[in-house]
Structure 1
Amino acid sequence: METEGIKYTGSKKLIIPYILELIKTLNVKTVLDGFSGTTRVSQALKKDGYTVFSNDASTWSKVFAECYLINRKPPSYYLPIISHLNKLKGKYGWFSENYGGKPNGGSSVQGDGKKRIWQIHNTMKLDAIREEIENIAKNEIEKSVLLTSLMLAMDKVDSTLGHQVSYLREWAPRAYSTMKMEVPKLIIDDKDHKVFQKDIFKLI
Structure 2
Amino acid sequence: MEKIEKFEIYQRRFLGNKLKVMPLIEKIIESEIKNFNSFCDIFAGTGTVGWYFNKENLQIITNDLLYSNYIPLRAFLSDEEFDEKKIEELLKEFNSIKDCEDNYVSINFGNKYFCNNNARIIGEVRERIHKYFLNDIINPKEKAILLTSLLYAMDKIANTVGHYDAYRNIKDIPYKPLKFLMPDIDKRKNQNNLIFNMDANILIREIECDVLYIDPPYNSRQYSDTYHLPENIIRWEKPELHGKAMKFDRSTLKSKYSSKEAAKAFADLIENAKCKYILFSYNNMANKGHSRSNARISDEEIMEILSKKGRVKIYEKEHKEFTTGKSKRGDNKERIFFVKVKK
TM over 0.5: yes
Q: Which structure has greater strand proportion?
A: 2
Aligned to 2:250: none
The structure-2 alpha-carbon separation of the partners of 1:191 and 1:161, relative to structure 1 and needing over 3 Å to count, comes to: same
Q: Which moved more, 1:187-196 or 1:139-148?
A: 187-196
Preserved contact between residue 118 and residue 159 of structure 1 (Cα < 8 Å): yes
Q: Of 79, 86, 92, which aligns to 2:95? A: 86
Preserved contact between residue 9 and residue 46 of structure 2 (Cα < 8 Å): no
Q: CA RMSD in A?
A: 2.3
Counterpart-to-counterpart distance in 2, 1:203 and 1:171: 45
Q: Of 48, 64, 68, which aligns to 1:60? A: 68
Deviation at 1:172, TM superposition (A): 10
Aligned to 2:42: 34
Counterpart-to-counterpart distance in 2, 1:38 and 1:117: 21
- What amino acid is the match of 2:87? Y
- Using CA pairs below 8 Å that are at least 6 residues apart, which structure has the higher relative contact order? 1
Deviation at 1:91, TM superposition (A): 2.5
- What amino acid is the match of 2:155? D
Q: Of 12, 15, 20, which aligns to 1:14? A: 20
Aligned to 1:169: 169
Aligned to 1:185: 184
Preserved contact between residue 5 and residue 40 of structure 1 (Cα < 8 Å): no
Counterpart-to-counterpart distance in 2, 1:82 and 1:142: 11
The structure-2 alpha-carbon separation of the partners of 1:20 and 1:8, relative to structure 1 and needing over 3 Å to count, comes to: same
Secondary structure at 2:62's aligned position in 1? strand
The structure-2 alpha-carbon separation of the partners of 1:47 and 1:4, relative to structure 1 and needing over 3 Å to count, comes to: farther
TM-score (norm 2): 0.51
Counterpart-to-counterpart distance in 1, 2:148 and 2:171: 24
Which sections of structure 1, spanning at least 5 residues, go unmatched? 102-115
Matches of residues 135-174 of structure 1 in structure 2 within 5 Å? Answer: 135-137=131-133, 138-170=138-170
Asked whether 1:73 is paired with 2:82, we answer yes
Deviation at 1:47, TM superposition (A): 4.6
Aligned to 1:112: none
Could you give the per-residue CA deviations for residues 145-188 of structure 1, whole angstroms, max 9, x where no partner exists?
Answer: 00000011111111112222142223798x52121101112221
The structure-2 alpha-carbon separation of the partners of 1:181 and 1:171, relative to structure 1 and needing over 3 Å to count, comes to: farther
Deviation at 1:117, TM superposition (A): 1.1
Identity %: 25
Aligned to 2:107: 97
Counterpart-to-counterpart distance in 1, 2:50 and 2:172: 30
Deviation at 1:53, TM superposition (A): 0.5
Could you give the per-residue CA deviations for residues 123-150 of structure 1, whole angstroms, max 9, x where no partner exists?
Answer: 1101111111112242211111000000
Preserved contact between residue 86 and residue 180 of structure 1 (Cα < 8 Å): yes
Count of residues paired in the alignment: 188
Secondary structure at 2:195's aligned position in 1? strand
Counterpart-to-counterpart distance in 1, 2:86 and 2:114: 29
Secondary structure at 1:131's aligned position in 2? helix
Counterpart-to-counterpart distance in 2, 1:100 and 1:201: 37
Counterpart-to-counterpart distance in 1, 2:152 and 2:119: 14
The structure-2 alpha-carbon separation of the partners of 1:48 and 1:157, relative to structure 1 and needing over 3 Å to count, comes to: farther
Preserved contact between residue 81 and residue 141 of structure 2 (Cα < 8 Å): no
- What amino acid is the match of 1:12? K
The structure-2 alpha-carbon separation of the partners of 1:171 and 1:45, relative to structure 1 and needing over 3 Å to count, comes to: farther
TM-score (norm 1): 0.82
The structure-2 alpha-carbon separation of the partners of 1:12 and 1:49, relative to structure 1 and needing over 3 Å to count, comes to: farther
Deviation at 1:19, TM superposition (A): 1.9
Aligned to 1:133: 129
Could you give the per-residue CA deviations for residues 75-108 of structure 1, whole angstroms, max 9, x where no partner exists?
Answer: 444211211122234321111111111xxxxxxx
Which sections of structure 2, spanning at least 5 residues, go unmatched? 1-7, 205-343
